[in-house]
Amino acid sequence: MASLQSSFTVLSSAPKLRSSRLPGRSHRSQISCSDGGIDRRNMLLGLGGMYGVGSSLGRRAEALPILPPDLSTCDPAGATTTRRVNGVEEVVKLDVNCCPPFTDKQGDYKLPAFTKLRRRQSAHRLSPANLAKYKQAMAKMRELDKTDPADPRGFTQQANIHCAYCNGPYDQVGYPGVDLQVHNSWIFFPFHRWYLYFYERILGELIGDPTFALPYWNWDNPRGMTMPPAFDDSSSPLYDEDRNQDHRPPAVVDLALNSGITDPVQLISNNLALMYKEMVSDVETAIDFMGTEYRAGDDPHAFASGGTSERGSHTGIHAWVGDPRNDLNEDMGNFYSAGRDPIFYCHHSNVDRMWTLWDKIPASYPKKIDDNDYKNSSFMFYDEKKNLVRVKVADCFDTKKMGYEYEYSDTPWINSRPTQKAVPVNLKELSKGLPTADKVFPLKPAKTVKFLVPKPAKGKADEALVLLNIVTDNTKLIKFDVFINDEDDKPGELDRAEYVGAFTQLPHRVKSKESVNNLRLNLREVYENINIADDDAVVITIVPRVNGDAVTIGGIKIIPRRSGK
């Protein structure tokens, strides 16, 4: 098998590739070459062991899966961000080099056979024996930072994995200057599943217990909607001081980042309503849940979008735990530093659990993404024996084949659909004096704004609300909520029929500092909930939650959902 190093040499000597998008094409890179003589499919087929002739190219002429990065070209200056000091923008060098140790001893990973499944427990019900094992393993992982900082199994090196894949140190192979990013697309869930897989096995290896399993923070259940006590002990290796001190137990999780709500009963009700939306009502295709397509050459900061779970509860927990005492929201509140907090892995264990739960919810659409570019996308990790190995998305679909399962926990959100309104709003009265959307956009939502948006069809059509060209400052946490025909005007209560959804962004670094996104929110069930009348327009309310002045929304429209336009 050819090594990755030799494969990358082939790429680096090839003519530079250019990536662009044609209008109306969704996340498909159109490839051309400076000399017109290179065929992208042939180049990928020439990558030997990394992407050999035996790979299934499927239904399309070109193979454009996301390839694992060349670790030897990791940019140690990639961990930078920008911030304003006294009104002046400056570049800030972060106190971490995210680049992992490099070796040319690399190979493909083969899942071992498992005789006993590792059982991941709820962190709030973690047995004393398993908690003791967890602390022991974490202590040993942290000790490696002191005794052998270059050991890829050390806690800092493990934390740096997230930084390296999420904060700009890697370019995509064959696309200089184009970031490799594992958020906001269909590879979000597979990448983090593999990440936890090796992290868990490393912890087990360090204490000589192959049955060791990570706990999961079941923030989707009211009993788990506080920070697990095991992580709030300052004498424990599970503790991290860079957290929001106002959110230590018994503070109730706020998945919506709705800081105006302090009533724990309302917070729990909001959380359950949000979980229902992201797991059930907002999801009408696999892409809705998993995230948009992401192929080699695609700019991950141009019209990419995370799935409902990623941009919802996942990002909500990150921001809720992150420390507002520093202007970078470290640790959990920023991509580059999130892995420094041990609770990150417990949080993502539940994120991974959400994937397994969603996969079992009955639906009228196929749950599997039958796309070879998705299935053949791949990543590099160090295993528990310090071997650098390559893994593929296609090999992580079955958790039991990966040797683990989740302890059962109730999912009350499955029955948390908002109460349907008996009478539709009087649109004429509700819209009195309001501007139409064309008078409002482009919009910088520094304050709550209401406006009228035309519908393409009258009545309860199968439609979607699309917010277009959302330009964000990537150094900022950003959150805004969207309501429809909201006559009660209670923006703090998200367990109501009028709530449509939200846009949320966690701070991260990209070369351009700005990202451009679209946000699509399905309206079919929302229309049923609000008992929409035979109107040809609706009133939209946008409520900024965090840093509304750091985002500009280019436009808004309602479209027939199945048109794909």
Q: How much is the average pLDDT of 278-307?
A: 92
Q: Residue 459 above 50 pLDDT?
A: yes
Note the pLDDT of residue 522: 93
Helix, strand or coil, per DSSP, at residue 122 = strand
Per-residue pLDDT, averaged over 175-192, amounts to 94
Q: What is the pLDDT of residue 35?
A: 31
For the chain, give the percent of residues with pLDDT over 90: 69
Ordered DSSP codes for 137-186: HHHHHHHHHHH-TT-TTSHHHHHHHHHHHHSSSPEETTEEEEEP--SSST
Instruction: Please name which of 254, 267, 247, 253 lies closest in space to residue 325, comparing C-alpha atoms.
Output: 247
124 is in an annotated binding site: no
Tens-digit pLDDT profile for residues 206-215: 999 999 999 9
Q: Of 405, 549, 441, 511, whose CA–CA distance to 81 is shortest?
A: 511
Rounded to an integer, what distance in angstroms lies between the CA atom of residue 168 and that of residue 170? 6
Question: What pLDDT digit, counting tens, does each position of 302-347 carry?
Answer: 877 899 999 999 999 999 999 998 878 889 999 889 999 999 999 9
Would you say 318 is a known binding-site residue? yes
Name the DSSP letter for residue 462: -
Whole-number pLDDT of residue 78: 53
Query: Of all residues in the chain, what percent are helix, strand and coil, respectively (each to 5)?
Result: 30, 20, 50
Give the span between the Cα atoms of 552 and 550, in whole angstroms.
7
pLDDT value at 287 more than 50 = yes
Q: H helices of 387-537, where?
A: 427-430, 437-440, 524-530
Q: What is residue 80's predicted lDDT score, i.e. its pLDDT?
A: 56
Structural domains present in the chain = 71-415 (1.10.1280.10), 427-563 (2.60.120)
Which pLDDT tens digit goes with each residue over 133-165?
999 999 999 999 999 999 999 999 999 999 999
Tell which phi-psi region holds residue 315, choosing left (phi > 0), alpha (psi between -120 and 50) or beta: alpha
Distance CA(234)–CA(230), nearest Å, equals 10
pLDDT, residue 431, reads: 94
Per-residue pLDDT tens for 220-236? 999 999 999 999 999 99
Q: What amino acid is encoded at 244 in this protein?
A: N
Q: What is the mean pLDDT of residues 408-417?
A: 96
Residue 102's closest CA among 388, 336, 339, 384? Answer: 388
**Cβ distance 503 to 311 under 8 Å?**
yes
Q: Is the pLDDT of residue 238 over 60?
A: yes
- Is 183 a known ligand-binding residue? yes
Cis peptide bond prior to 442, omega within 30° of 0: yes
Q: Please report, for the chain, how many H helices and E strands are present, in that order.
A: 14, 18
Q: Average pLDDT, whole number, for the chain?
A: 85
Q: Is 355 helix (H, G, I), strand (E, B) or coil?
A: helix
**What's the chain's Rg over C-alpha atoms?**
23
For the entire predicted model, the pTM comes to 0.86
Q: What is the pLDDT of residue 458?
A: 84
Question: For position 513, what pLDDT does the model report?
Answer: 73
Instruction: Identify the residue whose tokens are 């969704």.
Output: 26
Confidence of residue 11 (pLDDT cuts 50, 70, 90): very low
> pLDDT band at residue 89, thresholds of 50, 70 and 90?
low
Compute how many other C-beta atoms are within 10 angstroms of the C-beta atom of residue 58: 14
Structure tokens at 312: 């919802």
Residues labelled catalytic? 162, 183, 192, 314, 318, 335, 348
Secondary structure class of 494 (helix, strand, coil) = coil
Of residues 49 and 370, the one with the higher pLDDT is 370
Confidence of residue 119 (pLDDT cuts 50, 70, 90): very high
Each residue's pLDDT tens digit, 25-55: 233 332 222 333 333 333 333 332 333 322 3
C-beta of residue 271 within 8 angstroms of C-beta of residue 253: yes
Does residue 19 register a pLDDT over 80?
no
Judge whether 293 and 441 are in contact, CB under 8 Å.
Answer: no
Annotated binding residue 301: no
pLDDT of residue 62: 54
Q: Does 192 carry a binding-site annotation?
A: yes
- On whether the CB atoms of residues 540 and 556 are closer than 8 A, the answer is yes
